[in-house]
Structures are given as C-alpha cells and as structure tokens.
Copies of this chain bind each other. A is one copy, B any other.
Amino acid sequence: MVSKNQIKLISGLVQKKQRFANQLFFAEGVKVIQELLQSNFELEHLYTTQNDFESVLVSKKTLINAQDLKKISALSTPNTCLAVFKIPADKEIIESGLILALDDIRDPGNLGTILRLCDWFGIKQLLCSKESVDIYNPKVVQATMGSIARVNVNYVDLNVFLAQTSLPVFGTFMDGSNIYKTDLPQEGIIIMGNEANGISDEIEKTIKNRLTIPRFGELQKTESLNVATATAIILSEFKRNS
C-alpha cells in the first residue's frame, strides 16, 4: 500500500526541482536497482510487487500491487519494482586520465547512453555543463543500465573548469585532424557538444586539439552523427591503443 502523500512525493520526482528539494531520485527495474544497491547509493525506500530483494531491510521495503506501482512509475509499462534513493553528495572531480565533458546535452537517452559508454571504456569522470539534462532524471537513470553507479558525474561551469585545467582539451569539428591518423593521449578532456548546435562558441575557444571523424559516404551528405554514436567512435579511438 502506498499512501497518497508517498505517491505525490515519488511521482513529483520526475521534476528536477522536486528531486533537488527532496534530494531524492528513483530507479525502476530489478537490474538497475540491484546495481545501485550494490554501489554506494543509499536506499530511501523500495516498492515491489514481488517477494524479492531479500537483502533489503523489511522496514525499507513495501509490497505493493501493480495498480499502485503504475501510480508512482514514470514508465508507460511499469516494471515490477521502483526504488527511491538519496542523491549522494558530489564527489571530488578526478582530474586525471581521460575525462568526457558534455556541453549542454539535452536528451536523457543520449546522456544515459553516454554514461554507459564511459563505463565500458573505463572513463571515470564525466563532466556536464550546468544546462545539461540532470543525471537523476528517471529517463537517464533507466538508460544508464546501472552505469550511474560506476562513473563519477559532476555538473560544473565548463568555461571555468576549462580555464584552470592543465589537461589537453579535445573537441570534434568538421575541420579537425583525422581521429584515425592522430596520436591520441591517455590524458585529456574530450568535449561533446549539444545535439542541435554542437560545441558552443565560448567552449570552442578553449579547444586546442581539433579532431574530426571522417565521413566515408560517397555523397558526403550526412550532416552529422548522433552525439552518442559520435562519442562511441571517439572513445573507441582514444582507447584502442591504450
């Protein structure tokens, strides 16, 4: 049984403002919830339609029916469980190795997919501009498939951060040097730009290393790659010889 107040609280967490005010977010589905439980995320409360999650204290768990789950779920087809977690305090930025920095990524699916890529390629630090979509947006949490537990994510003023870093800064443009023919280091900041507008002018000024992903189509008409697939190609290229 979920009370009206709980329904109001949880369904409100689809809004960034409510997540921030309550310092809570939620995740749905056994796999993602298990990954978060095994990591350092602090469980506020678990709602499940099954007798599962034996490791979770009874006081932190409520058995509910599918109708109640539907009321708190953000999915059109709810899973069997939903867990509310505390938003952890920001960790310190790991300013070494390869860092991925997102300049205003707006699509939750893209951010989730990019976080999975960071996890796959062993990128420990993801920086997001303050305008980027919130990592605790339910659609992002679902798309990360648990990777949210293994990559450090910080929201920063990218201009301020880039002005003080001593790491080399990389970005992809139509006129950069061919990524397949450039020696790529194992330390640096790789900037990926907004879905519609690419990298902003102000950030572009800080990028000393301009790269390009060559196109192979004969017609050369494809204007762009989706930002998540471009990130996949770039991270693969940075890591393949490491």
Interface residues of A (CB under 8 A from B): 35, 109, 113, 116-117, 119-122, 145-147, 150, 180, 213, 215-219, 221-226, 228-233, 236-237, 239-242
CB distance from A146 to the nearest CB of B (A): 8
Nearest residue (CB) in B for A149 is: B221
Out of B216, B226, B239, name the residue touching A116 (CB < 8 Å): B226
A-B contact pairs, 28 of them (CB 8 A): A113-B228, A116-B222, A116-B225, A116-B226, A116-B229, A117-B229, A119-B221, A119-B222, A120-B217, A120-B222, A121-B216, A121-B217, A122-B215, A122-B216, A145-B222, A150-B217, A150-B221, A180-B241, A216-B239, A225-B232, A226-B228, A229-B229, A229-B232, A230-B232, A232-B232, A232-B233, A232-B236, A233-B236
Assembly CA distance A121 to B215 (angstroms): 6
Assembly CA distance A120 to B242 (angstroms): 26
Please give, as numbers and ranges, the residues of chain B lying within 8 Å of A215 by CB-CB distance.
120-122
Out of B117, B150, B213, B218, name the residue touching A225 (CB < 8 Å): B117
Nearest residue (CB) in B for A242 is: B216
Please give, as numbers and ranges, the residues of chain B lying within 8 Å of A232 by CB-CB distance.
225, 229-230, 232-233, 236
Assembly CA distance A14 to B216 (angstroms): 33
CB distance from A112 to the nearest CB of B (A): 9
Please give, as numbers and ranges, the residues of chain B lying within 8 Å of A222 by CB-CB distance.
116, 119-120, 145, 147, 150
Please give, as numbers and ranges, the residues of chain B lying within 8 Å of A231 by CB-CB distance.
229
CB distance from A99 to the nearest CB of B (A): 14
Please give, as numbers and ranges, the residues of chain B lying within 8 Å of A225 by CB-CB distance.
116-117, 120, 232
Please give, as numbers and ranges, the residues of chain B lying within 8 Å of A145 by CB-CB distance.
222-224
Out of B116, B119, B229, B237, name the residue touching A113 (CB < 8 Å): B229
Please give, as numbers and ranges, the residues of chain B lying within 8 Å of A109 by CB-CB distance.
109
Out of B146, B147, B236, name the residue touching A237 (CB < 8 Å): B236
Out of B121, B150, B180, name the residue touching A219 (CB < 8 Å): B150
Assembly CA distance A92 to B174 (angstroms): 34
CB distance from A76 to the nearest CB of B (A): 13
